[in-house]
């Protein structure tokens, strides 16, 4: 899926709602942000 969005704040939560079935390919900053938020949800620094 390709999306164009103005802001990523709500987008990160939406992406995380797909659980382990989602993979952010690019852009790199969004991928890293999703990864960091997932770590927070897990309560770990994996």
Query: Is 3 a domain residue?
Result: no
pLDDT at residue number 10: 86
Amino acid 45: pLDDT: 58
Domain count, the chain: 1
Residue 30 falls inside a structural domain: yes
* 32 belongs to a structural domain: yes
pLDDT digit string, tens, across residues 1-41: 787 888 778 899 999 999 988 999 989 999 999 999 999 98
Tokens of 18: 């797909």
Q: Which tokens sit at 7?
A: 């802001």
Range(s) of the domain holding residue 37? 9-42
Is residue 27 domain-resident? yes
pLDDT value for 6? 80
The model carries a pTM of: 0.76
Residue positions counted in the chain = 46
Would you state the pLDDT for residue 5? 82
Task: Judge whether 4 lies within some domain.
Answer: no
- The answer to whether residues 2 and 26 touch, using CB atoms and an 8 Å cutoff, is no
Residue 44: pLDDT band with limits 50, 70, 90 = low
């Amino acid at each position: 899926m390709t999306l164009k969005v103005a802001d990523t704040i709500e987008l990160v939560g939406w992406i995380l709602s797909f659980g382990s079935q989602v993979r952010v390919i690019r852009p790199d900053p969004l991928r890293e942000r999703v990864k960091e938020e997932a770590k927070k949800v897990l309560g770990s620094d994996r």
